């Protein structure tokens, strides 16, 4: 599951299920199954309200078999925080997971995302750096470290980190998108436009680069972001005709297009549906800056416990 795609996570679920069928008391397989369900929520294979109860049940079964399994403990902590929105209750569970297995990078990464969501960026950075130190070749850990640095308001450091991650694995559109944002926030709009073009090409959009050819500076970057959001919305709608797409995914594209009411309605729907992708949106994503003064957005954060 290291490449973090819907297809790889679904395959992993099948393999863990087979392992459990062969050995019904294989604790690590239950933990892996739980992790695959969490991945299916984050990577749009299943709605959170379907995936997370299955994930939590599998993780708790793993702990029944082996109470020292730190990875399974971290999964329970993740469900407690992201799905049940019991943020304070989750922290001691994460810390217990790290006590049980301090050398597993996944609990460090999950705890880092939790800390980032709560705005505790220094602590989040330390956890993410530990995850990268333990497993420097998994792109997801390196990418999430960049996300922490970006949320902490350190675009130069974030740009360096995303560039490092892309040097390891250049075929990752979200990292090109995040690198573009970090570069643009430093005024390097031409480099940012190049990253947007690379990301669009990897999404299969072969005409994006031609359409923005000649774009320069802040105005060119802003126009490219609008075009990118419009194209992304088209892809999301097409995907939604074939399967599940979480409301929070649509909300981001609408806010980039300046359609605040549509975005706010989708964020509310994401809350009602228990969408775990919502936490990142309402915590530190810069795209939602236009909504932060909206009383409805503030109330949404309050109801989420943030």
Q: Which of 49-63, 154-168, 207-221 has the lowest mean pLDDT?
A: 207-221
Q: What is the pLDDT of residue 306?
A: 86
Q: What is the pLDDT of residue 4?
A: 60
Predicted confidence (pLDDT) at residue 282 exceeds the cutoff of 90: no
Average pLDDT over residues 104-113: 97
Q: What is the pLDDT of residue 2?
A: 52
Give the structural domain span for 144: 103-156
Do both 27 and 52 map to the same domain?
yes
Do both 59 and 113 map to the same domain?
no
DSSP state string for 73-127: HHHHHHIIIIIT--HHHHHHHHHHHHHH-TT-HHHHHHHHHHHHHTT-HHHHHHH
Average pLDDT over residues 178-185: 95
Q: What is the pLDDT of residue 284?
A: 87
Do both 48 and 66 map to the same domain?
yes
Do both 225 and 263 map to the same domain?
no
For the chain, state the CA radius of gyration.
19
Do both 4 and 89 map to the same domain?
yes
Task: Give start and end residues of each alpha helix (H) in the chain.
Answer: 6-22, 27-42, 48-65, 70-78, 87-100, 105-117, 121-134, 139-151, 155-168, 173-184, 189-202, 208-211, 217-242, 247-256, 260-272, 278-283, 295-304
Predicted confidence (pLDDT) at residue 210 exceeds the cutoff of 80: no
What angle, rounded to 10 degrees, do the helices at 27-42 and 70-78 form? 30
Instruction: Report the percent of the chain where pLDDT is more than 90.
Output: 77
Residue 133: how many other CB atoms lie within 10 Å: 11
Q: Which CATH number is 116's domain given?
A: 1.25.40
Average pLDDT over residues 126-145: 96
Predicted confidence (pLDDT) at residue 211 exceeds the cutoff of 80: no
Average pLDDT over residues 192-207: 87
Predicted confidence (pLDDT) at residue 103 exceeds the cutoff of 70: yes
pLDDT-derived band at 205 (thresholds 50, 70, 90) equals confident
- Whole-number mean pLDDT of the chain? 93
165, part of any domain: no
Do both 225 and 255 map to the same domain?
no
163, part of any domain: no
pLDDT-derived band at 6 (thresholds 50, 70, 90) equals low
Predicted TM-score (pTM) of this structure: 0.93
Instruction: Report the percent of the chain where pLDDT is more than 70.
Output: 98
277, part of any domain: yes
Structural domains counted in the chain: 4
- Of 50, 18, 48, the closest CA to residue 33 belongs to 18
Predicted confidence (pLDDT) at residue 3 exceeds the cutoff of 90: no
Do both 120 and 90 map to the same domain?
no
Q: What is the pLDDT of residue 161?
A: 97
């Amino acid at each position: 599951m290291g490449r973090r795609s819907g297809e790889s996570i679904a395959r992993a679920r099948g393999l863990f299920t087979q392992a459990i069928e062969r050995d019904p008391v294989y604790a690590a397989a239950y933990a892996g199954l739980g992790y695959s369900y969490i991945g299916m929520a984050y990577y749009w294979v299943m709605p959170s309200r379907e995936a997370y109860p299955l994930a939590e049940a599998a993780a708790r079964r793993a702990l029944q078999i082996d109470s020292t399994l730190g990875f399974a403990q971290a999964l329970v902590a993740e469900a407690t925080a992201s799905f049940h929105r019991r943020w304070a209750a989750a922290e001691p569970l994460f810390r217990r997971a790290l006590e049980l297995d301090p050398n597993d990078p996944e609990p460090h990464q999950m705890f880092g995302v939790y800390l980032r969501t709560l705005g505790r960026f220094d602590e989040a950075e330390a956890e993410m750096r530990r995850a990268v130190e333990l497993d420097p070749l998994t792109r997801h850990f390196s990418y999430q470290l960049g996300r922490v640095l970006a949320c902490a308001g350190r675009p130069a450091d974030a740009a360096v980190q995303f560039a490092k991650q892309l040097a390891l694995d250049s075929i990752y559109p979200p990292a090109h998108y995040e690198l573009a944002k970090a570069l643009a926030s430093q005024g390097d709009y031409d480099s940012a436009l190049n990253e947007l073009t690379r990301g669009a090409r990897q999404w299969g959009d072969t005409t994006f680069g031609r359409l923005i050819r000649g774009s320069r500076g802040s105005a060119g970057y802003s126009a490219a972001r609008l075009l990118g959001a419009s194209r992304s919305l088209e892809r999301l709608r097409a995907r939604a005709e074939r399967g599940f797409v979480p409301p929070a995914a649509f909300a981001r594209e609408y806010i980039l297009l300046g359609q605040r009411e549509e975005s706010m309605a989708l964020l509310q729907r994401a809350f009602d549906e228990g969408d775990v992708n919502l936490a990142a949106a309402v915590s530190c994503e810069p795209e939602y800056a236009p909504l932060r003064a909206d009383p409805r957005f503030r109330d949404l954060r309050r109801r989420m416990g943030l």
